[in-house]
Amino acid sequence: MELIVGGEGQGKLELVFSRTEISQELVCDGSSCPLDRIPEQPVMDHLHLLIRRLLESGQDPLAYVRRLIEERPDLIVISNEVGCGVVPVSGFEREWREAAGRACCLVAQHACRVERVIAGIPVIIKGE
């Protein structure tokens, strides 16, 4: 498993395209993919939005992430970092930030490589 994190619009997915044969059709988009099954594509983009949709639909997002880790050990996971702002007033927003952060910690734990992308530049923070 690999994890790529960073702010919005930093070139995380483009980084994957630039160094693999993977194209857009092979990307599972967490903002719109089905929630009732584990995706088969090699890349999961927008994990933070998938977590949000799982919470909205009353599912346990961390249970889903544990299944991803178990069933898709070769997956490349991409997520925005969403925990670096002021604590939101809304309880749901707080719950989402918490779950998205924990999901990334969990994926990072099982990832052989974790990269943080800023302005298109990847910085390796785990692995080689």
Partner 1 sequence: MLTLVLGGAASGKSEYAEQVAVEAGGQKIYLATMQPFDAECEARIQKHRIARREKGFETVEQYTGIARLRLPKGCTILLECLSNLAANELFSPSGAGQDAGGEILRGIDLLCAQAREVVIVSNEIFSDGISYDPDTERYLSLLSGLNQAVACRAGRVIEVVCGIPIVCKGRGPR
Shortest gap between Cβ of 110 and partner 1 (angstroms)? 11
Task: Write the interaction track for partner 1 spanning residues 28-67; mark x where CB under 8 A is met and - where it is not.
Answer: ----------------------------------------
102 binds partner 1 (CB under 8 A): yes
Interaction between residue 119 and partner 1 (CB under 8 A): no
Dist CA 79 CA 101 (whole Å):
10
- Minimum distance from residue 37 beta carbon to partner 1 (Å): 25
The answer to whether 87 contacts partner 1 (rule: CB under 8 A) is yes
Q: How far apart are CA 88 and CA 3, in angstroms?
A: 26
Residue 56: count of CB within 10 angstroms of its CB? 11
125 binds partner 1 (CB under 8 A): yes
E-only strand ranges, 7-120: 27-29, 43-45, 76-80, 113-118
Q: Scan for tokens 């599972």, then name that residue.
A: 28
